[in-house]
Every structure is written in C-alpha cells, then in structure tokens.
Amino acid sequence: MNPVLIPGLPWIGNLHQYRYDKIGFLHRIRDRYGDLVRFRLGPHTLILVAHPEDVHRVEMKHARNYVKATNFRAVVGDGIFMSEGEKWKRQRRLIAPTFHHGNLLKMVDDMNAKIGLTLEMIREVDQHPVELSETMKRLAFEIVCEAVFGARSAGDFTSLRQAMVYINRYLTRRFGALLPLPMSFPSPSNLRFHRALRIIDRTVWELIGQKTAESASGSPGEDLLTKMMLARDPETGEGMEPAQLRDEAVSMMLAGFETTGHLIPWVLNELAVHPEHQKRLRTEIDERVGDRIPGAEEAMALPFLNAVIDEALRLHPPVWAWTKRALEEDEIRGHRIRAGSILYLSPYLTHRHPQFWERPEAFDPDRWTPELRERNKLAFFPFGMGPRTCVGRHFALLEIKLILIRILQGWVLQPVPGHRSQGDFQITLGMKKPLILRFIRRSS
C-alpha cells in the first residue's frame, strides 16, 4: 500500500499551498492525513515522514538505503556534506577527529575573543534597542571562519560572508522554483551566483596556499583547515587533495554559520519574553561562573543552560527540514516506499508532534527531565541522527553557550513592545523581521 496522496491541483499539485505557508501546510496535512503522506510540488512527489520511529528508520536503522536528495554540489562540491558511500565514509573519518573535545578546548579563547568584540559594540548602545539577527549571524560567521582558517589568516571575511549569504538566498529561491533555469543560463541571479562563487573560491584557494606554506615552513596552524590538510586516513594512510580541502572548507562555512547564527536570536528572544527563565539562567551563571570569562568545561556543565538551548532547538531547529532519496524499495509501517522516492523529514514538525510533546508550542525548559530525554530520544533530532548526524554539533553548542553566558553576565534582556518574531522557513529557519531587543546593563 502506498502512503495516502493528498488532493492537489492538476500539474502544480500542492505547490501553491506549500509556497504560501510551508509549515502551516505541513502541519495541516499531518493533522488531517497522518504521519506518512504523499504530497506534490509541481512534478515532484514527496513523502512526509513525521513519526519519530519512521525518522529513525530513514536516518539510522536503514540509513544505507537513503541518500541526500537536495543538491548543493554546485557550491560544496563533493565534500562531506554531499558525498555518499565510501567517499563520504573516508571524509567523515578524516574530519570528525578535527572536532574532538581536545581541539574544541583550544578554540575557546578565539571564540571568546570574537564574542568580546561583538559585546563591546553592544555596550556602546546601552539601554537602546539592539538589532540581533545580523549581529549574531556576523559573529557566527567570524567564529566559524576563524575556526576553519585560523586567527592568523587574512582577517577580513566580509566579502566572503556577503558571498555566502547571497548563495544561501539563491539556493533557497531555486528550491522553491517550479522549473528553475539551468545554472549556466546567463540570468542576472545566475550571474550573481557565479560571481559570489568566484569570490569564495578565490579566498579559499588563497587560504589553502597560505596554510600549505605555513605547514611547509614547520609552523602549522591550529585551524581546522590545517588539521584537515595534515589528517591521514587510519585505514589507507592517504590525505586529502587540495580540491577536496576546498570543498570541505566551503562545506563547513555553509553548514556552520546560518545554523548557529539563526539559533542564537531565537534563544535570546525566548529569554526576553520569559523573564522567569531568564532570571533562573542568570542565577545559574552567577553561581557557577560569576563574572569570569567562561571556559569550555564550565560552559558545558550548566544544566539549566542546557535545557534552555534544547528547548530552543526543539521549537526553532535551524535545519528545520531536509529530504532523502530511497535507493531501493523499502517498507515503512506497512507502506510501500518505492525506489527513487523523495522523503521529507522535518524536525520542526516532529518536535511539535502532539502525541510526543505536551503543550508542544510552549517554551518550557523544565520539560527536559532525564525521563523525557530517554522517552523522546527519537522525537528530538535538531542535528539529525545516525551516521550523517552533524559533525559540528559540539562546536555549535559550545559557541552558543559561550555567547549566552557572556550576554547574561552583562545584561538583562527585554522585548521591544510591538516586535513579534515569526519564522522565515528558508534553507535554515530565520526570522521574518530582524530581532530587536532592549539590553539593560546589569550594573546600571
């Protein structure tokens, strides 16, 4: 039996409903037709997979049968993000160790220095409303670039960031288009895309050259790019070719900045509109960290901070949906999944599934008891699950924690009346309007 196909219009299917309000549409079809349903976006039929056990089958239990269906290859080439099979396994073996605990500890000082510079700017506008969406995206970009390329590198990442932001916007538009023009067609947006890609390539190749020279002169940097350059596959003894290094560096940038950069404003907003949780978190920080610049170990060991971030990741997962393609026929709870089917997974939807979450729409960090963590471990997957789970997860969590601690050490956050944050469901989950909050200095 095929999963039920929901009604739609000839030719376009459900594209108009999806385009108008993606998440509203997905919620409606899940509520009305169930956890495994087919819908049509123009020529493509997709299968929505909303039940945690089915997500687990696709992402973990039978992960070998499902490959990424969204194509970012034009940007990230055949890096860890897009590669599959033996190639992906090899890249993952080479890259995962660069994110190990010991390496993260070495990045803390650089992260803290970047955070300090951003907070200096906020200090100057004391008591006034502060724009946070752009500010946090910029900070997240600088932190990921510094981690990948090192503090000693050429420094100005502004044009690189602008190029990355354009590429994200371009890719989002392409995925929403019914019949996108081939990328080689000289339309204004395609031309701008290729220009942005050239800026990225030029910068990344320059940095690869710089890292190669540093390593050759016997003083290799501590950055991820150098570590990837020097990494050797334990099974074959082989390293990465320069073109592969380029793809991996770009993969890290693409995966690592709009994700964290979007989550931080969501957390700050939840804290501003829930002063009781903000107060409790500030007390935890005061008691455990005081006014010291936090180290990695203490940042990671704050239980209420952990719960606040998990609750924000539950309600506002930055990677809110993705697709996988079935290589061979499969069966999911009695339903036939034909070879070639495109499966649509959405942590946003599953994280608000009323069967698994009480008062799913409420921001309630207290729900994160050890029992709930155990019971709902398949219903919470902001970083994916299984072999393709986010390789930058601990990096991202450390960065977010350091930023939140430093902000709450210095300020009380208050919402600005009349400002409402609504989700903007692009490749990552941003806000429709930039977040503005009032920052009140604690000493004043």
Nearer to ligand HEM (CB atom), residue 384 or residue 434: 384
Nearest to 132 by CA among 264, 272, 257, 256: 264
136 binds ligand HEM (CB under 6 A): no
343 and 49 in contact (C-beta within 8 Å)?
A: yes
According to the binding rule CB under 6 A, does residue 144 interact with ligand HEM? yes
Q: Please state whether beta strands 342-345 and 44-49 pair in parallel, antiparallel, or not at all (unpaired).
A: parallel
CB closer to ligand HEM, 63 vs 183 = 63
User: If binding is defined by CB under 6 A, does position 320 make contact with ligand HEM?
Assistant: no
Q: Which stretch binds ligand HEM (CB under 6 A): 226-234, 238-246, 251-259, 416-424?
A: 251-259
Residue 427 contacts residue 176 (beta carbons within 8 Å): no
Tell me the window of 5-13, 177-185, 300-308, 316-324 that interacts with ligand HEM (CB under 6 A): 316-324
Q: Looking at beta carbons only, is 5 or 69 nearer to ligand HEM?
A: 69
> 323-332: string of b/e by CB count within 10 Å (b at 16+)?
bbebeeebeb
According to CB under 6 A, which residues from 159 to 178 bind ligand HEM?
none
Binder of ligand HEM out of 8, 13, 52, 256 (CB under 6 A): 256
DSSP string, 335-400: EEE-TTPEEEE-HHHHTT-TTTSSSTTS--GGG--HHHHHHTTTT--TT--GGGS-TTHHHHHHHH
Indicate whether 379 belongs to the interface with ligand HEM (CB under 6 A): no
Question: Is 430 a binder of ligand HEM (CB under 6 A)?
Answer: no
Q: Which is nearer to ligand HEM, 40 or 246 (CB)?
A: 246
Total residues binding ligand HEM (CB under 6 A)? 26
Applying CB under 6 A, which part among 15-23, 38-46, 234-242, 315-323 lies near ligand HEM?
315-323
Strand 322-326 and strand 342-345: the pairing is: antiparallel
Distance, in Å, from the CA atom of 65 to the CA atom of 350, rounded to the nearest integer, reads 22
Counting contacts by CB under 6 A, is residue 92 touching ligand HEM? yes
In angstroms, the first-to-last Cα distance of the chain is 66
Q: Which stretch binds ligand HEM (CB under 6 A): 28-36, 47-55, 275-283, 391-399?
A: 391-399
Residue from 66, 193, 383, 425 in contact with ligand HEM (CB under 6 A): 383
Rule CB under 6 A: is residue 384 a binding residue for ligand HEM? yes
Whole-number Å distance between alpha carbons of 24 and 380: 20
HSE at residue 216, side-chain half, CA atoms within 13 A, is 6
Q: Which residue has the tokens 């990677």?
A: 319
Name 142's Cβ contacts closer than 8 Å, sequence gap at least 6.
114, 157
Phi, psi (degrees; rounded to nearest 5) at 46: -120, 155
CA distance 255 to 413: 28
Amino acid at 63: A
Among 107, 139, 240, 391, binds ligand HEM (CB under 6 A): 391
Q: Single out the residue of 119, 132, 263, 305 in contact with ligand HEM (rule: CB under 6 A).
A: 263
Pair of tokens at residue 57: 């089958």
Q: Does 251 bind ligand HEM (CB under 6 A)?
A: yes
Specify the stretch interacting with ligand HEM by CB under 6 A; choose among 124-132, 165-173, 381-389, 409-417: 381-389
- Counting contacts by CB under 6 A, is residue 59 touching ligand HEM? yes
Q: Does 192 bind ligand HEM (CB under 6 A)?
A: no
DSSP state of 221: -
For helices 101-124 and 393-410, angle between their N-to-C axes, nearest 10 degrees: 30
Q: Is residue 52 a contact residue for ligand HEM (CB under 6 A)? A: no
Q: Which stretch binds ligand HEM (CB under 6 A): 45-53, 101-109, 269-277, 382-390?
A: 382-390
Distance CA 15, CA 12 (A): 6
| Of positions 352, 388, 401, 406, contacts ligand HEM by CB under 6 A | 388
**Interface pick for ligand HEM out of 294, 382, 415, 430 (rule CB under 6 A):** 382
Which of 318, 365, 415, 430 touches ligand HEM (CB under 6 A)? Answer: 318
When the beta carbons of 318 and 415 are compared against ligand HEM, the nearer one is 318
Binding stretches for ligand HEM (CB under 6 A): 59, 80-81, 92, 144, 251-252, 255-256, 259-260, 263, 317-319, 322, 382-384, 388-392, 395-396
